[in-house]
Amino acid sequence: MDPIFWRPDVFPGTVIVAPGPESFSADSPLSLACLDQSAGDRESGDYLALPDPEGCVYLSLSPCKNGEYPAVILPLDDIAELRFEAAARLFRRLNGRLGGPLPKGLRLTPQQRLLLIQRLHALDFHLAGASPREIAAALIDAEAANLRAVEWKDSAARTKAKRLVKKAEALMTGGYRKLLRGG
């Protein structure tokens, strides 16, 4: 299976490497030749994933011609800090060290991970035709299946099941991109 690559405009963990300005020169520029060319040409250029114990370092590469030196492009947008941290991980890898942990904004906490898993399970149940009560009984509280109608109407399990489905549908219809941007 081919590795998955995220466009740098979508995922700030992808470092953009392109030829530096013409006036730029370096006594001893870092070489990208040491990189494992594990992934090849894609629609918008070359993409590489450098393995690292804390998570791959993703690159979007534009080739340098003779005499050009590679440079990291850091768009100054609302997630520039995440991009800078991703670039620092690349710098460490190019210097033969481990990249270090993913930027904090790109890591899920254990609680966020569990909630995301629960939302995805709720979406699976919902798309398979399960009712909110069935979702609540399967994911939140097994006793929800036995509640009388009046108790069910005011139950926290009902509210949570509906919220899980609503948030999961939002993820499915494009909200997952917020996860990629550290949100």
Residue 36 pLDDT = 46
C-alpha distances in angstroms, 61 versus 5, 6, 48, 130?
12, 13, 8, 46
Residue type, 129: G
Helix (H) or strand (E) holding 15: strand 14-19
Strand partners, 16: 60, 73
- The model's pTM is 0.68
pLDDT by residue, tens only, the chain of 183 residues? 565 667 888 888 899 998 888 777 666 666 665 554 444 443 345 888 888 898 888 898 887 777 778 889 999 998 899 999 999 999 998 888 999 998 888 888 899 899 999 999 999 999 999 999 999 999 999 998 899 999 999 999 999 999 999 999 999 998 887 877 766
Residue from 18, 55, 57 nearest 39 by CA: 57
Please report the pLDDT score of residue 34 as a whole number.
52
Which pLDDT value is given to residue 66? 75
Domain residue limits, the chain: 14-105, 108-180
Q: Tokens standing for 153?
A: 């109407």
Closest-CA residue to 122 (of 183, 166, 179): 166
Q: Is 55 exposed, middle or buried (0-12, 13-18, 19+ CB in 10 A)?
A: middle
**What integer pLDDT is reported at residue 161 of this predicted model?**
95
